[in-house]
Every structure is written in C-alpha cells, then in structure tokens.
Amino acid sequence: MAIFAEIDQSKCNGCGLCVSICEPGGLILDNGLLITIVETAICDWCAFCEAVCPTGAIRCAYEIVLETP
C-alpha cells in the first residue's frame, strides 16, 4: 500500500502554496478553498508541500533519507 501526504482540511486555509510548489501537479485547490490530492500516482514524494504549508495542514507520513556512499 502506498503512503501519501495527508491533508487536514480543518487546518487548510486555501492559500495555494502547496499547489504552486507541486511540480508534478498532484494537488489542486478544490473550489478555491481546500487542497485536494488529485493524482496520487504522480506524487514524487518530495514533501515540499508539507514544508511550505503555513498552517501545518499537510503531513507526510514518510521521511526522506539520503544515503551517502
């Protein structure tokens, strides 16, 4: 089972920062108010959406770990 970002709609203020940072285009503003994940298959797990969210509405349940050789 794939794990994707979780969006707490009660915290989302509809600012759209996550939509603008999502290069693959997996997020949209639904009716201009709340963020919705529209295409989980194109999420590249960058977690930028979580990082730019000013209200903490987006939580990525995964951690990106960079290994050094």
pLDDT at residue 21 is higher than 80:
yes
pLDDT at residue 1 is higher than 60:
no
Average pLDDT, the chain: 83
What is the reported pLDDT for 11?
Answer: 93
Q: Which CATH architecture has domain 6-59?
A: 2-Layer Sandwich (3.30)
Residue 49 tokens read as 């959406």
Q: What is the pLDDT of residues 44-55, one digit of tens each?
A: 888 899 999 999
Count Cβ atoms within 10 A of the Cβ of residue 65 and give its class: 0-12 exposed, 13-18 middle, 19 or more buried. Answer: exposed
